[in-house]
Amino acid sequence: MTPYQAIISKRDTRSFDGRPIPDDVLQRILQAGRMAGSAKALEPARFVVIRDQVQKEALAKCGNFTPHLPTAAAAVAIVLEPEMGVVGAPLTYFRGPFDAGRAAQNMMLAAWAEGVASCPASMHQAEEAARVLRLPEGYTVANTIAFGYPAGEDPARQQRPRKSLDQYVHWEHWGG
């Protein structure tokens, strides 16, 4: 599968078949996340891999739309270090959430290229998620991704009409 094919065919999946993800495949998924670019080379994202059923269930209680999380073979919490400024720059330069998103997309595309489906989920009760994951003071969960092999037909994976490229793209100026 080419990178372009992975991008245009990947769909969020909320129904997994229960098969474990081999360690070497999971390592490649995590490596893809690690290799995401990072603003000012701060590399603020860290990953917590959750495979334990009880731990996945506890983490799922920290999000509002996470019933699929415990059914996944693994979940990866993308954790951000406390905000740190670039020397001489205000904290507004901090790009941790953007870097976390880049890492998440890399992992989900690498997973899909391996035949592993995924679905990101927000942790709406962030402080509780930090407690469940035993994060150090000041660390926060940016996002959590469920990974697993897709189970049969998942309505969420069906191709849905998308807006046309013309509705997304403007040339030189808005409306151009």
Quick one: average pLDDT of 114-119? Answer: 96
Architecture of the domain delimited by 3-168: 3-Layer(aba) Sandwich (3.40)
Q: What is the pLDDT of residue 154?
A: 57
What confidence category does residue 176 fall into, taking pLDDT thresholds of 50, 70 and 90? confident
pLDDT, tens digit, 9 for 90 and up, residues 121-157: 999 999 999 999 999 998 999 999 999 999 977 565 5
Quick one: average pLDDT of 24-36? Answer: 97
pLDDT, tens digit, 9 for 90 and up, residues 63-110: 999 999 999 999 999 999 887 555 544 444 456 888 999 999 999 999
Q: What is the pLDDT of residue 92?
A: 45
pLDDT at residue 40 above 90?
A: no
Domain ranges of the chain: 3-168
> Rounded to an integer, what is the distance from CA 33 to the centroid of its chain?
9
Strands 74-80 and 45-50 come out as antiparallel
CA distance 113 to 86: 35
